[in-house]
Chain A
Amino acid sequence: MFEFRLAKDEIGVISLEKRARITGETSSNFRKWQDTVDLKSCSRVILDGTNIEFIDSMGIAALISIYKTIAAEGNDLVLVNLSEEIKKLLNTLRLDRLFIVKDCSVEEAVKNSC
C-alpha cells in the first residue's frame, strides 16, 4: 500500500499506491511499514498526499511517528498534495509547526522550489 523511493539519492518520497483512508488498521500498518524503510538516512522526506482520501487521529499519530524518526536526525518532513480538509485538520492540531505543508508537486518539493 505504501511506496518509498529515493529522489536525488537522498530525498525520501513516500506515497500511497492507490487512494486510501489512513485510519485504524491502516494507520497501524503505516507505522509498521516505516520501520522497513530507511528514513533516517534521508536528508528530507516528502509525503505525497495525493492518494490520502481521509485521515483520523490514529492516522495523524502515524504521521507524528514518522515525523519523530526524521526530526531525530534533524531533518524535515514535507507534506504535499493534501486536500484542503486534511490541511485544516493539521492546522487545528497545530501540527503545521512540525510538518512543512506545501502546495506544490512532489517534483517541486524535491527541487525545493516551492
Chain B
Amino acid sequence: MGEKNYSFMIEPNLGKIDAFSAKVSDIVRKNMGNENGFRAGLIVIEACSNIVKHGELDEEDRISVDLTIGEDRVTITIEDTSKEFNPLEVDEPDLEDIELLQKGGMGVYLIRRFSRGIEYSYEDGKNILRITI
C-alpha cells in the first residue's frame, strides 16, 4: 500500500474543528483501525482547539492540516499563522490537581501521550506542528 495524502483548510472555530476531528478519525480508522482513528481525532481536536483558544486568529484565517497515512504510521502536520507557540515547552500538568485539569491544560499532555513523536518549528510566520502516531 502506498502513502495516502490528504490536505485540509479548517475554519478557526470549535464546531468546525469538532466536525473535522470526526472526519480525520473516520479516515484513519478505515486505514489503521479504531485505536489509531481515535488517537488521530484526539490529536487534531486538541491541537486545533488550542490554536483557536489561544492563537487570536481572525475569522478569515485558516488552519492548514496535512494528513499522511503510511504503511505503519500516520503523520499529521498542522500549520497556523497565530502567534508563536511551542507546545513542547508547555510543562506537564499535575495530574493530582483536578481543579487544574478541570480548567484545561490536558490538551498538550494528551497530544504527547497519544503520539509517537512531535516536532515543532516556527517558520515564515507560521507555527508548524508535525505529529506522528
Query: Which residues of A line the B interface, CB within 8 A?
Result: 21, 23-25, 54, 56-58, 60-61, 64-65, 67-68, 83-85, 89, 92-95, 98
Contact B22–A21 (Cβ < 8 Å): yes
B contact residues around A85 at 8 Å (CB)? 34-35, 38-39
Separation of A68 and B102 alpha carbons in the complex (Å): 10
- Does more than half of chain A's interface fall in helix, strand or loop, or is it mixed? helix
**Contact of B21 with A by CB under 8 A:** yes
Chain B residue at minimum C-beta to C-beta distance from A31:
B102
Nearest CB of A to B110, in Å: 6
CA distance A83 to B37 in the complex (A): 13
Consensus secondary structure, chain B interface: helix
Task: List A contacts of B114 (CB < 8 A).
Answer: 92
A-B contact pairs, 12 of them (CB 8 A): A25-B14, A54-B42, A56-B21, A57-B49, A61-B102, A61-B104, A84-B35, A85-B35, A92-B114, A93-B109, A95-B101, A98-B98
Query: Are B106 and A57 within 8 A (Cβ)?
Result: yes
User: A60 touching B38 by the CB < 8 A rule?
Assistant: no
Contact call A65/B45, Cβ cutoff below 8 A: no
Our pick among B15, B22, B35, B110 for the contact of A57 (Cβ within 8 Å) is: B110
Identify A24's interface contact among B15, B98, B110, CB under 8 A: B15
